[in-house]
Amino acid sequence: MKSDLISGLFFLVLLSYSPAFKQLEDVYEYLWESNMHIANKTLHIDFLKQMQSGELQAERYVAFTLQDINYLLKITSMLKELQEKVQTPEDVSAFMKGRYISYKKFAGFLLSRNFLKGASQIKPTPTMKKYLADYREVMQTERDPLYFAVALLPCSRLWLWLANKLDIPSSNAYYTWKKENMEGHPEKHYKAMLNKYLNTSEKVQKASNIFKMQMQNEHDFFGSS
């Protein structure tokens, strides 16, 4: 009892005096802010620079789109599994169902726009293979499904940020990409949930590692496109 009290006090003292305190106040922002350097690096990748200038060769954009469609369908099927499996807690369960419906809808929209029936003929690039394998690993090895939400967040935040940062006028061939990605509200789905459950420094550390890995995977996807 006494040692619990002491270690509890010690934890509070640690929280108030270590830099971790602010992080724990808003883990959602902390994860993003501590990986801004990867976002910055991604913005300067030649694929995105050439989209901005309108010089990107169409073949590269087509290949990128096909990889993205395959990605969306694979993530949708992981979310399908999770939304069936995760029944509690209620907010995490609702998150999985909500994300599943949203990913399914968007993947379906991209398939029909491109007159595709599915992604079975799309071969993932080595970079995409690694990215998807990292998702699967998080899904299969982490007992807490919350870490899958953490793994999903870099894509949502980064694409939104990139679309807003890139100066692409409506006369540019890649304007549709900007327009379709520049309006989103990831905080509506993730923020309260992550801040509620990532409430120990161990959990924040684990989330931080997963978030960083996925930011790097996003960077590498653009880098290899």
Ligand X SMILES: *[C@@H]1O[C@H](CO)[C@@H](O)[C@H](O)[C@H]1NC(C)=O
Considering the rule CB under 6 A, would residue 164 count as an interface residue with ligand X? no
Considering the rule CB under 6 A, would residue 199 count as an interface residue with ligand X? yes
Find the binding residues for ligand X in span 81-140 (CB under 6 A).
Answer: none
Q: Specify the residue for token string 């599943």.
A: 100
Of 176, 174, 205, give the one whose Cα is nearest residue 58: 174
Smallest gap, in angstroms, from Cβ of residue 202 to ligand X? 10
Residue selected from 10, 21, 25, 37 as contacting ligand X according to rule CB under 6 A: 37
Closest CB to ligand X among residues 7, 102: 7
Smallest gap, in angstroms, from Cβ of residue 197 to ligand X? 6
| Token pair belonging to 125 | 């690039």
Q: What's the rounded Cα separation, in Å, for the pair 61 and 51?
A: 9
Q: What's the rounded Cα separation, in Å, for the pair 30 and 45?
A: 24
Considering the rule CB under 6 A, would residue 49 count as an interface residue with ligand X? no
Backbone angles phi, psi at 172, to 5 degrees: -80, 140
Considering the rule CB under 6 A, would residue 197 count as an interface residue with ligand X? yes
Q: What's the rounded Cα separation, in Å, for the pair 164 and 181?
A: 8
Smallest gap, in angstroms, from Cβ of residue 198 to ligand X? 8
Task: Give the interface with ligand X as residue ranges (CB under 6 A).
Answer: 36-37, 40, 196-197, 199-200
